[in-house]
Chain A
Amino acid sequence: MTGTDDDQPLVEAARAGRAEAFGELVKRHQDRLYPTLLRLTGSAEDAQDLLQESFLRAYKKLGRFRGGSSFYTWLYRLAVNLALSHRRRRKGPVRLSELRGEGAAPLEPPADPTRSDPTLPAEQAEREAIIQAALDALAPDHRAVVVLKEFDGLRYEEIAATLGVPVGTVRSRLHRARRELRDRLSGIVDEPAVRQGTPDAE
């Protein structure tokens, strides 16, 4: 995870009170940040709200940004933790996966068909919807490590730094999350690799 090297002049200008410079930072980084927030929250509306909120908080805390990391890395950590906080506090039915000690249950495809890409063949779309639903059902902490690892491609150390947890915790959360996904997606995982249409990493 790297940031844009030439962010610093914009950061300095924003600190000096030039809001338009901060607007340029928003335009520069919102496209990278939004997918992460969408996958962490599972809701386009929530992700957009959190995107705004992340930038607003970054602006307010700009004085505390010391440049030890890139601006994007700093912003990314802030946004991920904001999304995690949001998701932990979300009202609504408690998911089975959030009930400690409950077994994992396979999931039906989500009711919202807009989560699937309409351009995909129906079978693949349904499969992706099931996988997405399994991801949605993960506990927030587990979902976070999966998103940061599988979608954003972070190394364990980077995930640990982002979430403020030890590397060993990242490793165990990721392993438990994958096992839970395996149990939820048993029907798909047990299919021959040829039918899955995805590269088998084994």
Chain B
Amino acid sequence: MIPRIRPIAARVASHRIARHCAGSRIPGNRGASRARVRELSIFLIFPNRSEMSQFDETLLSAYLDDELDPESRREVEEAMRADPRLSRELGELARVRGLVEGLRRPLEAPDVSGEVLARIALERAPTRALPPIAAASALAAAALLVLFFLGSRPHRAEPPRGGPVEVAGADVPEQSGSGTVAIASVPDRDDSAEGLAGFPEVAEGGPAVGDADRAGAGDGGLLGFVLDLIDYPEGEQFEIEPAPGTSAEELAAGLDVLLREQIVRLDPRYALIHTGTSPGPGAIAFALVARPSERQTLLSLIEEALGARPRKAGWADREEAAGMLVAEAGGLTLSTATTGVPMRRELPDRIHAIPVFPQDSATSPEPGELGRPLPGGLPPVSVAPPAAPVSPLPEGTAPEPTGPDSGAEPERPGVILLWVRDAAGGSPAPGSPD
């Protein structure tokens, strides 16, 4: 039975509320005061909440919208007869609905069909393979920058890991190492099943970028994948512009080395995204899966290592980042720091199962073990058990990360995208440092 408000109790309550609010009313904040008064009314009239009606007030909106079955409608009507407050609330909700409906009017839409078809055409345009000479030039620049950054980087207690890395095959086990340099460019997707052979330009003395994926003719999937990276919950965009005297190519190559050699090394969470097959607008981006608690450390390390070389570094706009990708969709290339698997095939697993990083051994840590800290100072984070098989993303949505219910609020990993652009908005074309 819903208790009725006794007139005396109501008057007393009003008096007490008025006294309470007299000293705290905020001019112009009538809504907040009103909400506060309503809350206080409930408390003062029903100091023991068990006296309150158990009526589910969300039924009022459903009643208003004619979304209730007959039994529920009767329940609402009985409750309103017993409690005039509910009737008043229904009236207020109806007026709110009327106010919002009053905004409804035809809106003229822009015609975007031309832009959509142009973007589709861009994505279907054939891409140019990275010329071996250009790749060699990039390699040379990267090697120089390795020395540059290794010479200028802060000393870290953990020594660089050694050992060779094989990159030519698709099933190379992950091993630590920095003795072999390989920049892998993958041919168009039709050839990519076994397609690394013959492409890697191998040199010595630098880091390794292993497998790569490339947007080929008729392949919109890679662009979609990278756009999904941008859209992934908890993601961040960070933009870096080179200072005068430093080219974007140098900055990007240095950042690549820094990330792979000092910060993440062969961490499978890392990927390099190239956009732009020709001089002009475009960008180079670095994708890294990280938990929120890791991000500040990561960015601090980058800022520390890059010193004065960036002219500007700051948060980037998501739409602008997406626009840069789309503008150069035909030249999109995605490379991962690890060998064997392109990031796009594994990303959901990596995001969901962070941080199971088989960096030093073939065995994954047992569930519950602490993950090893990322080289370069990123703190260890707790290990999730291997993720359940990942289902495709629902249409138009990003997935909610799933994982073990540890009881504590889990940190949701996201994707950090570091964009390197020159001040004019252009970017280096991959493999064309000249």
Interface residues of A (CB under 8 A from B): 19-20, 22-23, 26-27, 30-31, 33-35, 38, 46, 48-49, 51-57, 59-61, 64, 74, 77-82, 85-86, 88-89, 91, 103-106, 117, 128, 131-132, 135, 146, 149-151, 155-156, 164, 171-172, 174-176, 178-179, 181-189, 193, 196-202
Tell me which residues across on chain A come within 8 A of B315, comparing CB atoms: 91
Shortest beta-carbon distance from A48 to chain B in Å = 5
CB-nearest residue of chain A relative to B91? A202
Tell me which residues across on chain A come within 8 A of B62, comparing CB atoms: 156, 171, 175
B317 on the A face (CB < 8 A) = yes
Q: Is the CB of A150 within 8 A of B117?
A: no
Top 4 A-B pairs, shortest CB-CB distance: A78-B396, A34-B109, A81-B396, A175-B61
Tell me which residues across on chain A come within 8 A of B233, comparing CB atoms: 85, 88-89
Shortest beta-carbon distance from B81 to chain A in Å = 16
Query: Given A22-B120, A30-B109, A202-B90, does the pair A150, B31 have CB atoms closer than 8 Å?
Result: no
List 18 A-B pairs, Cβ < 8 Å.
Answer: A20-B117, A30-B111, A30-B112, A46-B319, A52-B112, A53-B322, A57-B224, A60-B123, A60-B224, A61-B224, A78-B395, A89-B231, A132-B103, A150-B101, A178-B93, A182-B96, A198-B98, A200-B94
- Chain B contact patch, size range: 35 or more
Q: Is the CB of A48 within 8 A of B112?
A: yes
Q: Is the CB of B396 within 8 A of A82?
A: yes
Binds A, one of B32-40, B191-199, B242-250, B332-340: B32-40
Tell me which residues across on chain A come within 8 A of B31, comparing CB atoms: 103-106, 183-186
Q: How far is the CA of A182 from the CA of B31 in the complex (A)?
A: 8
Q: How far is the CA of A54 from the CA of B224 in the complex (A)?
A: 12
B92 on the A face (CB < 8 A) = yes
Q: Is the CB of B395 within 8 A of A51?
A: no
Query: Given A188-B99, A198-B99, does the pair A55, B112 have CB atoms closer than 8 Å?
Result: yes
Tell me which residues across on chain B come within 8 A of A128, comparing CB atoms: 102-103
Interface residues of B (CB under 8 A from A): 28-32, 34-36, 57-62, 64-65, 67, 90-107, 109-113, 115-117, 119-121, 123-124, 220-221, 223-224, 227, 231, 233, 235, 315, 317-319, 322, 392, 394-398
Q: Is the CB of B107 within 8 A of A106?
A: no
Tell me which residues across on chain A come within 8 A of B28, comparing CB atoms: 106
B contact face: mostly helix, strand, loop, or mixed: helix
Query: Given A26-B116, A30-B112, does the pair A104, B96 have CB atoms closer than 8 Å?
Result: no
Q: Is the CB of B99 within 8 A of A185?
A: yes
Residue of B99, B221, B317 touching A131 (CB-CB under 8 A):
B99
Residue of B102, B112, B395 touching A61 (CB-CB under 8 A):
B395
Q: Is the CB of B397 within 8 A of A81?
A: yes
Q: Is the CB of A19 within 8 A of B102?
A: no
Shortest beta-carbon distance from A22 to chain B in Å = 7
Residue of B92, B106, B110, B119 touching A182 (CB-CB under 8 A):
B92
Tell me which residues across on chain A come within 8 A of B58, comparing CB atoms: 171-172, 174-176
Tell me which residues across on chain B come within 8 A of A156, comparing CB atoms: 62, 65, 67
Tell me which residues across on chain A come within 8 A of B109, comparing CB atoms: 30-31, 33-35, 51
Residue of B35, B113, B223 touching A23 (CB-CB under 8 A):
B113
Q: Is the CB of B107 within 8 A of A38?
A: yes
Q: How far is the CA of A85 from the CA of B395 in the complex (A)?
A: 12
Q: Is the CB of A164 within 8 A of B394?
A: yes
Q: Is the CB of B102 within 8 A of A85?
A: no
CB-nearest residue of chain B relative to A30? B109
Query: Given A74-B395, A85-B398, A198-B98, does the pair A175, B60 have CB atoms closer than 8 Å?
Result: yes
